[in-house]
Structure 1
Amino acid sequence: MINRLINELMHYALCEHLVDEDDKVFVTNSLLALFNQVEFHEEEIKEERVLADILKDMCDFALKEGIIEDDSVTVTDLFDTKIMGLLTPMPSTVRRVFKEIYSVDSKLATDYFYKLSKRSNYIRVDRIARDEKWVTDTAYGPIDITINLSKPEKDPRDIAKAGAAKKSGYPSCLLCMENEGYAGTFSHPARQNLRVIPIALDGEDYFLQYSPCVLQ
Structure 2
Amino acid sequence: MKEHLNALLTYGLNKQIVTNLDQAKENLSKLYETSFDYQAVNQPIEITLENLLNWANQKSLFEPNTIEERDSFEAYLFDLIMESPMEVKAHFSKLFKKDKEQAFDYLYTLSKDINYIKTKRLKENVTFLSDSKYGYLEITINLSKPEKDPKDIEKALKEKKIQSEGPKCVICKENERNYKNARSNLRIIPLELNHKLWHFQYSPYGYFNEHSIVLSDVHENMKISDETFINLLDFLDYMPSYFIGSNADLPIVGGSILNHDHYQAGRHSFPIEKASVRKTYKPFKEVSIEHLNWPLSTIRLTSLDKAQLLAVASILLSLWQTYDNEALDIISNTNQAHNTITPIARKVGDLYQFDLILRNNRTTKDYPGGIFHPHEEKWHIKKENIGLIEAMGLAVLPARLKQSLKKALDYVNENVIDDSIMVHKAWLDQLKKTKKHYSLDELYQAVGHVFEAVLEDCGVFKLDEQGFDAIDSFIKQL
**TM-score of the superposed pair, with normalisation by structure 2:** 0.42
Give the secondary-structure state (helix, strand or coil) at the position aligned to 1:138. coil
Asked if 1:52 is matched to 2:46, the reply is yes
Report deviation, 1:136: 1.9
Q: Going by fraction, where is strand more abundant, 1 or 2? A: 2
1:179 to 175, 180, 183: 175
For residues 202-213 of structure 1, what are the structure 2 equivalents within 5 Å?
A: 202-213=194-205
Q: Give the conservation status (yes or no) of the 8 Å contact 2:12–2:81.
A: yes
Asked if 1:40 is matched to 2:36, the reply is yes
Q: Hey, what does 2:115 align to over in structure 1?
A: 121
Q: Give the conservation status (yes or no) of the 8 Å contact 2:72–2:184.
A: no
Q: Hey, what does 2:8 align to over in structure 1?
A: 9
Q: Provide the rounded CA distance (Å) in 1 between the counterparts of 2:138 and 2:201.
A: 23
2:8 aligned partner, one-letter code = L
Q: Provide the rounded CA distance (Å) in 1 between the counterparts of 2:162 and 2:139.
A: 36
Q: Provide the rounded CA distance (Å) in 2 between the counterparts of 1:182 and 1:153.
A: 20
Larger radius of gyration: 2
Q: Provide the rounded CA distance (Å) in 1 between the counterparts of 2:39 and 2:169.
A: 42
Q: Hey, what does 2:106 align to over in structure 1?
A: 112
| Cα deviations by residue, 1:5-59 (Å, 9 ceiling, x for unpaired) | 1010000000000112xx112111101111122x3133342x431x233212111
Give the secondary-structure state (helix, strand or coil) at the position aligned to 1:66. coil
Q: Hey, what does 2:72 align to over in structure 1?
A: 78
Asked if 1:19 is matched to 2:15, the reply is no
2:28 aligned partner, one-letter code = L
| Cα deviations by residue, 1:177-214 (Å, 9 ceiling, x for unpaired) | 11111121xxxx03110111100001111000011111
Q: Hey, what does 1:29 align to over in structure 2?
A: 26
Q: Provide the rounded CA distance (Å) in 1 between the counterparts of 2:40 and 2:95.
A: 33
Q: Provide the rounded CA distance (Å) in 2 between the counterparts of 1:42 and 1:112.
A: 27
Q: Hey, what does 2:97 align to over in structure 1?
A: 103
Asked if 1:146 is matched to 2:145, the reply is no
Q: Hey, what does 1:92 align to over in structure 2?
A: 86
Q: Provide the rounded CA distance (Å) in 2 between the counterparts of 1:93 and 1:142.
A: 43
Q: Provide the rounded CA distance (Å) in 2 between the counterparts of 1:168 and 1:53.
A: 37
1:12 aligned partner, one-letter code = Y
Report deviation, 1:83: 0.6
| Greater RCO (Cα-Cα under 8 Å, separation 6 or more) | 1
Q: Provide the rounded CA distance (Å) in 2 between the counterparts of 1:25 and 1:180.
A: 23
Q: Provide the rounded CA distance (Å) in 2 between the counterparts of 1:192 and 1:4.
A: 24
Q: Give the conservation status (yes or no) of the 8 Å contact 2:64–2:152.
A: no
Q: Provide the rounded CA distance (Å) in 1 between the counterparts of 2:64 and 2:86.
A: 34
Q: Provide the rounded CA distance (Å) in 2 between the counterparts of 1:99 and 1:29.
A: 28
The aligned length equals 206
For residues 189-208 of structure 1, what are the structure 2 equivalents within 5 Å?
A: 189-208=181-200
Percent same amino acid among aligned pairs?
33
1:195 aligned partner, one-letter code = R
1:41 aligned partner, one-letter code = D
Q: Provide the rounded CA distance (Å) in 2 between the counterparts of 1:17 and 1:106.
A: 20
Structure 1 stretches of 5 or more lacking a match? none
Report deviation, 1:173: 1.4
Q: Provide the rounded CA distance (Å) in 1 between the counterparts of 2:50 and 2:64.
A: 13
Q: Give the conservation status (yes or no) of the 8 Å contact 2:126–2:141.
A: yes
Q: Provide the rounded CA distance (Å) in 2 between the counterparts of 1:96 and 1:13.
A: 19
Q: Provide the rounded CA distance (Å) in 1 between the counterparts of 2:43 and 2:50.
A: 15
1:13 aligned partner, one-letter code = G
2:159 aligned partner, one-letter code = A
Q: Give the conservation status (yes or no) of the 8 Å contact 1:133–1:147.
A: yes
Q: Give the conservation status (yes or no) of the 8 Å contact 2:73–2:179.
A: no
2:194 aligned partner, one-letter code = D
Q: Provide the rounded CA distance (Å) in 1 between the counterparts of 2:205 and 2:144.
A: 7
Structure 2 stretches of 5 or more lacking a match? 209-478
Report deviation, 1:67: 2.4
1:32 aligned partner, one-letter code = S
